[in-house]
Amino acid sequence: MSPKQQRGAETADRLLVAALQVYAESGERGVTVNALGRASGVSLGSLYHHFGSVDGLMNALLLRWLGRLLDELTAAVAGSRTARSGVRALVRAYLAFVQEHTDAARLLHSSYADRAGMARAKELRDTQEARLSPLADWVEEHLASGELAPLPVPLVEALVMGPVVATARRWLSGIDDVDLDEAARVLPDRIWRSIGP
pLDDT at 6 over 90: no
Which residue, among 19, 119, 100, 11, has the nearest Cα to 64 in the 3D structure? 19
pLDDT at 129 over 90: no
pLDDT at 97 over 90: yes
Q: Residue 23 in 3-state DSSP?
A: helix
- pTM attached to this predicted model: 0.91
* pLDDT digit string, tens, across residues 162-182: 999 999 999 999 887 899 999
- State the chain's mean pLDDT as an integer: 92
pLDDT at 161 over 90: yes
What pLDDT does 123 receive?
Answer: 79
CB-CB contact of 8 with 50 (8 Å) = yes
Compute the distance between CA of residue 166 and CA of residue 172 in angstroms, rounded to an integer.
10
